[in-house]
Amino acid sequence: GAGVSQSPSNKVTEKGKDVELRCDPISGHTALYWYRQRLGQGLEFLIYFQGNSAPDKSGLPSDRFSAERTGESVSTLTIQRTQQEDSAVYLCASSRTSGALGETQYFGPGTRLLVL
Amino acid sequence: AQTVTQSQPEMSVQEAETVTLSCTYDTSESDYYLFWYKQPPSRQMILVIRQEAYKQQNATENRFSVNFQKAAKSFSLKISDSQLGDAAMYFCAYRSGFGNEKLTFGTGTRLTIIP
């Protein structure tokens, strides 16, 4: 597609429920990232996928957070037993490849999650 | 760990005037990349400009330019001839030249354009 897409655009859930957020990267982009943006703050790195390599999960805040990616396609971020502190905008980005060239990351429009 | 600091939570500028947004960063690395992203109310993060640390020449993209001072670890963004469409949150970001490709962001500067 023309850009990174994410769904849903907005999600309201009750505390304790599980949610799944989806990201479709730009076709041909091997690297995919998830970030979290709390209200009025900058973006925090969550997880990074590069091709078929093991993902870098160093930014995940707790074991309630997990993400999957099949090959170089769609990724799903899952939050189990949601808490009110999980309320944020979750942004996905993709780039052509990793390496020393510093490829630009292109962002999707994000999913705004509200946990009641 | 790298940190990025934006000390101006809010800035405003008259339409057609010039404004400079500040950013400083802390790193022990010699190879890295710096970015300015714009986030309008639509939430979409849009790349404004990027700078490779090994390049001495400051990057320029139309009305946007940077003042990259490597020794001072400073990376400011200058917007010339400000337009109403420039109103947004602006984030400075750092990316290491090694290992994980993650971006480390500052807390952002909200730019208001006064007609």
pLDDT tens-digit profile of B27-60? 998 889 999 999 998 888 999 999 999 888 999 9
**pLDDT for residue A1:** 52
Which residues between 7 and 46 in chain B have a beta carbon less than 8 angstroms from any beta carbon of chain A? 31, 33, 35, 37, 42-46
A110–B47 CB contact, under 8 Å: no
A106–B42 CB contact, under 8 Å: no
Contacts of A96 by beta carbon, 8 Å cutoff, 6+ apart:
A28, A29, A30, A31, A103
**pLDDT for residue A38:** 92
**pLDDT for residue A99:** 53
**pLDDT for residue A45:** 94
**pLDDT for residue B99:** 67
B50–A102 CB contact, under 8 Å: yes
CA distance A19 to A27: 25
Distance between B64 CA and the closest CA of chain A, angstroms: 17
Q: What is the mean pLDDT of chain B?
A: 93
A102–B108 CB contact, under 8 Å: no
User: For chain B, which residues score pLDDT lower than 70?
Assistant: 99-100
Say yes or no to pLDDT of A97 above 80: no
Contacts of B71 by beta carbon, 8 Å cutoff, 6+ apart:
none
- pLDDT exceeding 70 applies to what percent of chain A? 95
